[in-house]
Amino acid sequence: LNRIKASGLKLRFCTNETQATREKFVKKLQGMGFDISVAEVTAPAPAACRILKERGLRPHLLVHDDLIPEFAEIDKANPNCVVIGDAAESFTYANLNEAFRVLIGMEKPVLLSLGRGRYYKETDGLKLDVGAYMKALEYACDVQAEVVGKPSKKFFESALAEMGVPPQQ
């Protein structure tokens, strides 16, 4: 890592972390000895924020409570889209139904998903990931989600835009 930084090459860490802010992610890596800053990290939430700002979208958030600070500068009044991430314990019927109601009330619903994983493993066993809930909303609202986490093209384009590097470079 130090050699890459010393070479002058632009560097970006890409993570699918959607249960914590980049700040928390970076502190964890710094604790492991990595010389890394928040500005060097691309994650799905900031990629989604870039899209929201570009399109003038105001999201209804169905994300993990610890991720909400990533959306602090985004207008969330009178939502005209839904952003879904790994909401963990917040994936309740009531919360999923609220997202459904936002989408179903739109002429052209917009659903942004921070990932599309099916499931993941925690210390207490397997857990459903965002993809299962995303598919439920897609089916119920007859909408195709735009995935902004890895491995989507939009995710990597966001990282390139943050670095000011064209894709061909």
| CA dist 96 → 39, 61, 81, 126, 145 (Å) | 32, 10, 14, 20, 15
Q: Whose structure tokens read 């739109």?
A: 106
Residues 80-103, mean pLDDT to the nearest whole number: 96
Are 67 and 18 contacting, i.e. CB atoms less than 8 angstroms apart?
yes
For residue 150, the model assigns a pLDDT of: 78
In the numeric block, which tokens belong to residue 47?
């990629």
- Token reading at 23: 């700040």
Evaluate if residue 103 carries a pLDDT over 90. yes
* Confidence bin at 127 (pLDDT 50/70/90): very high
What are φ and ψ of residue 89, in 5° steps?
A: -65, -15
| Level-2 CATH architecture, domain 44-151 | 3-Layer(aba) Sandwich (3.40)
Confidence check: pLDDT of 32 > 90: yes
Segments making up each domain of the chain, as ranges? 44-151
Q: Is the pTM of this model over 0.85?
A: yes
Compute φ and ψ for 50, nearest 5 degrees. -60, -45
How crowded is residue 45: how many other Cβ atoms within 10 Å of its Cβ? 27
> What pLDDT, on the 0 to 100 scale, is given for residue 9?
86
Q: Which tokens go with 49? A: 């924020």
**Which backbone phi and psi does 70 adopt, to 5 degrees?**
-65, -20
Expressed in angstroms, the distance from the first to the final Cα of the chain is 20
